[in-house]
């Protein structure tokens, strides 16, 4: 996917005046967080489970090589095949090769963020293979040729009316000529269209929430059951997953599942939890003839062992974006690439470069709400600050900001000079008049006064000046 992260400010401008988007965000902002709150309230051990979840992922990351090899050995023993893909291009090539070998014309896909990351659909289309998204949200945005705006709710930026229009436009040619308005009808129509597509598919591609080293299973949760059709009906099943998805045991998967759905949607469990463990065995009633797992690195291994490793704990629940007031204001597309919200602001600079995506970690108030809900306790603000430090080190911070900081630091480390400067500023502000108690406009403060008044300083000078006359200098 072509990034527009460098044009973040333009993206934001568009998002803030997009009425449909703002209407959708207003619902999202309260809905997700309220459901999570209730789910957490019902589970007294939730905070302790978050610690467990963090520890499991930390342990897996500390021994990632070991668990990946164990996973590969298991998959191979089951008759499946593991493919190592260092880059996005490698992953696309592997998937295309498998599809070609299977003579595939249509591929049924169940929602996968890794597929978005490697831009798999575009690659398959360019080579004459039609990918069909089977997750309802993904299906909608595929019809509209839009990227997802949320990692678990890809079409959350759209209103029901927009979906109705999209279906009406695309389903007419399939014989559905009525424009539907009710949600259940829209879902039923999508289901009818998609059923046919499942049956045509030669290959099914799914993502994975976890890869279990102990059993060689890939594990997936959905609320629609579409993954189960994607991996049982077609002859060939391809799982694409990034390397940090591997965890040691089924027991660990169970623990992580307990925090995953609660954090994501406030459900105790997602409707469907599926373990795929190798291809169809003799005597099995269904299942694919071939089972492939494509393991994507795409720069992740370079994060291991460093001060940014914590980002690899992410289990992609979406809670950080559901609770982020910045995401709530601008939606997911403004972030300009695959992963939006706080985790996107941390991950995107790693995956496509801080020069391209440097705005993202800056667009945060560090309010910390993301960290306070993250089921694996990723210190997201701290990681965003790390990126700001990298930018500063590499002189990517805008010159005006650097100069302002240099001046500020010069004064802040010279208290006497600082007193003089604040006293002067105090008197200068007084020149603009404080009779109203506030200013509707101030020089150099346009970014503030465009939207708000600026409170005038109280009369009588700075605190320190007053304190000095009242109590004498500090001891």
Partner 1 sequence: MTVGLFVTCLVDMFRPSVGFAAVKLLEDAGCRVVVPDVQTCCGQPAYNSGDRADARAVARQVIAAFEGFDHVVAPSGSCGGMIAHHFPALFDDDAAMQARAEALAGKTHELVSFLVDVLGVRHVDARLDATVTYHDSCSGLRELGVKAQPRALLSGIAGLKLAEMANPEVCCGFGGTFCVKYPDISNAMLADKTRDIAATGADTLLAGDLGCLMNMAGKLQRLGSSVRVRHIAEVLAGMSDLAAIGEPETAPAGPAAAR
- Please give the residues from 422 up to 441 whose contact with partner 1 meets the rule CB under 8 A: 422, 425-426, 434-438, 440
User: How many whole angstroms separate alpha carbon 384 and alpha carbon 175?
Assistant: 50
- The distance of closest approach from Cβ of residue 315 to ligand SF4 in the complex, given in angstroms and rounded to an integer, is 5
Query: What minimum distance in Å lies between the beta carbon of 255 and partner 1?
Result: 25
Helix (H) or strand (E) holding 23: helix 19-41
Number of residues that bind partner 1 (CB under 8 A): 77
Q: Which is nearer to partner 1, 52 or 385 (CB)?
A: 385
Is 385 a binding residue for partner 1 by CB under 8 A? The answer is yes
> Residue count at the site for ligand SF4 (CB under 6 A)?
13
- 170 touches ligand SF4 by CB under 6 A: no
Find the shortest distance in angstroms from Cβ 70 to ligand SF4.
24
Part in contact with ligand SF4 (CB under 6 A); list of ranges 75-83, 86-94, 318-326, 440-448: 318-326
The verdict on 387 binding partner 1 (CB under 8 A) reads yes
- Give 123 or 369: the residue with its C-beta nearer to ligand SF4: 369
Q: Does 418 bind partner 1 (CB under 8 A)?
A: yes
| Pick from 48, 13, 109, 38: nearest CA to 261 | 38
Is 279 or 341 the residue whose CB approaches ligand SF4 more closely? Answer: 341
User: Partners of 221 in the beta sheet?
Assistant: 273
Does residue 234 touch ligand SF4 according to CB under 6 A?
no
In the complex, minimum distance from the CB of residue 87 to partner 1, in angstroms, rounded to a whole number:
29
Instruction: List C-alpha distances in Å: 319 to 197, 269, 308.
Output: 32, 15, 20
Whole-number Cα distances in Å, 45 to 51, 59, 85, 283: 10, 21, 38, 42
Q: Which is nearer to ligand SF4, 278 or 340 (CB)?
A: 340
DSSP, res 278? S
Residue 343 touches ligand SF4, criterion: CB under 6 A: yes
Contact indicator for 316, 338 with CB cutoff of 8 Å: no
Site string for partner 1, 323-342 (x = CB under 8 A): --xx-xxx------------
- Partner in contact with 395, chosen from partner 1, ligand SF4, none, beta carbon below 5 to 8 Å by kind: none
Gyration radius of the chain over CA positions: 26
Sequence-ordered list of residues with C-beta below 8 angstroms from that of 351, at least 6 positions apart, any chain? 117, 298, 299, 337, 339
Report if residue 399 touches partner 1, rule: CB under 8 A: no
Question: Site mask, ligand SF4, residues 278-317, x = CB under 6 A?
Answer: ------------------------------------xxxx
Residue from 131, 216, 318, 361 touching ligand SF4 (CB under 6 A): that is: 318
Cα atoms in the Cβ-side hemisphere of radius 13 Å centred on 301: 13
CA distance 110 to 154: 12
Please pick, from the candidates 269, 366, 420, 441, the single residue that binds partner 1 as defined by CB under 8 A.
Answer: 366
Q: List C-alpha distances in Å: 447 to 142, 286, 293, 370, 398.
A: 38, 62, 50, 26, 16
Please select the residue that binds partner 1; options are 97, 415, 420, 432, rule is CB under 8 A: 415
Q: How many CB atoms within 10 Å of residue 7?
A: 14
Least distance CB 71 / ligand SF4 (angstroms): 21
Rule CB under 6 A: say whether 378 interacts with ligand SF4.
yes
Which residues in the 165-184 window bind partner 1 by CB under 8 A? Answer: none
Q: Applying CB under 8 A, which of residues 412, 424, 428, 430 lies at the interface with partner 1?
A: 412
Q: Confirm if 16 and 329 have CB atoms less than 8 A apart.
A: yes
Nearest Cα to Cα of residue 306 among 241, 387, 234: 387
Terminal-residue alpha carbon distance, the chain: 61
CA 33, 38, 39, 41 dihedral sign is positive
Measured over the CA atoms of residue 443, residue 448, residue 449 and residue 455, the dihedral's sign is negative
Torsion of CA 158, 257, 305, 322, to 10 degrees: 30
- Span of 101-109, 131-139, 155-163, 379-387 interacting with partner 1 by CB under 8 A: 379-387
Q: Which is nearer to ligand SF4, 124 or 152 (CB)?
A: 152
Is 374 an interacting residue with respect to ligand SF4 (CB under 6 A)?
yes
∠ CA 313-316-322, rounded to 5°: 120
Judged by CB, which is closer to partner 1: 30, or 254?
Answer: 30
Q: Kindly state whether residue 319 participates in binding ligand SF4, applying the rule CB under 6 A.
A: yes
Burial of 449 (0-12, 13-18, 19+ CB in 10 A): middle
Q: Contact at 8 Å (CB) between 348 and 337?
A: yes
Nearer to ligand SF4, 157 or 377 (CB): 377
Check binding of 411 to partner 1 (CB under 8 A).
yes
Select from 76-84, 184-192, 260-268, 466-474 the region that touches partner 1 (CB under 8 A): 466-474
Task: Give φ, ψ of 85 to 5 degrees.
Answer: -120, 100
User: Dihedral sign, CA of 171, 115, 255, 67?
Assistant: positive
Name the helix (H) or strand (E) containing 239: strand 236-242
- By CB under 6 A, the residues from 139 to 168 that bind ligand SF4 are none
108 touches ligand SF4 (CB under 6 A): no
* 249 contact, one of ligand SF4, partner 1, none, CB 5-8 Å limit per kind: none
Interface residues with ligand SF4 (CB under 6 A)?
Answer: 263, 314-320, 343, 374-376, 378
């Amino acid at each position: 996917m072509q990034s527009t992260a460098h044009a973040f400010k333009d993206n934001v401008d568009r998002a803030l005046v997009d009425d449909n988007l703002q209407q959708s965000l207003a619902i999202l902002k309260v809905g997700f967080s309220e459901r999570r709150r209730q789910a957490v309230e019902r589970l007294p051990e939730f905070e302790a489970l978050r610690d467990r979840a963090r520890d499991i992922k930390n342990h897996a990351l500390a021994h990632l090589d070991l668990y990946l090899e164990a996973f590969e050995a298991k998959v191979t023993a089951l008759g499946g095949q593991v493919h190592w893909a260092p880059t996005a291009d490698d992953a696309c090539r592997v998937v295309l090769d498998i599809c070609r070998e299977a003579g595939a014309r249509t591929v049924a896909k169940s929602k996968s963020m890794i597929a978005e990351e490697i831009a798999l659909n575009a690659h398959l289309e360019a080579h004459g293979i039609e990918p069909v998204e089977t997750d309802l949200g993904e299906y909608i945005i595929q019809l509209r040729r839009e990227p997802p705006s949320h990692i678990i709710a890809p079409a959350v930026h759209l209103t029901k009316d927009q979906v109705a229009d999209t279906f009406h436009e695309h389903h007419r040619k399939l014989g559905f000529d009525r424009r539907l308005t009710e949600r259940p009808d829209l879902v039923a129509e999508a289901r009818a269209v998609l059923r046919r597509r499942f049956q045509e598919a030669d290959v099914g591609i799914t993502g994975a929430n976890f890869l279990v080293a102990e059993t060689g299973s890939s594990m997936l949760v959905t609320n629609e059951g579409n993954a189960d059709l994607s991996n049982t009906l077609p002859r060939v099943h391809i799982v694409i997953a990034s390397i940090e998805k591997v965890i040691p045991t089924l027991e660990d998967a169970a623990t992580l599942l307990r925090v995953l759905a609660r954090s994501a949607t406030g459900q105790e469990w997602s409707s469907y939890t599926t373990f795929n463990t190798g291809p169809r065995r003799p005597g099995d009633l269904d299942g694919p003839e071939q089972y492939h797992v494509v393991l994507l690195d795409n720069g992740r291994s370079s994060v291991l062992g460093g001060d940014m490793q914590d980002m690899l704990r992410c289990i992609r629940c979406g809670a950080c974006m559901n609770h982020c007031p910045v995401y709530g204001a601008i939606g997911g597309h403004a972030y300009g690439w695959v992963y939006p919200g706080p985790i996107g602001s941390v991950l995107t600079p790693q995956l496509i470069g801080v020069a391209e995506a440097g705005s993202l970690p800056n667009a945060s108030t560090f309010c910390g709400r993301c960290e306070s809900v993250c089921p694996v306790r990723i210190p997201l603000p701290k990681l965003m600050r790390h990126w700001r430090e990298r930018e500063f080190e590499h002189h990517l911070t805008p010159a005006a900001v650097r100069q302002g900081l240099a001046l500020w630091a010069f004064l802040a480390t010279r208290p006497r000079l600082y007193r003089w400067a604040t006293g002067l500023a105090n008197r200068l502000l007084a020149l603009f008049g404080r009779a109203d108690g506030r200013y509707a406009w101030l020089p150099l403060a346009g970014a503030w006064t465009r939207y708000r008044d600026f409170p005038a300083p109280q009369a009588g000078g700075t605190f320190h000046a007053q304190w000095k006359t009242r109590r004498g200098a500090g001891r």
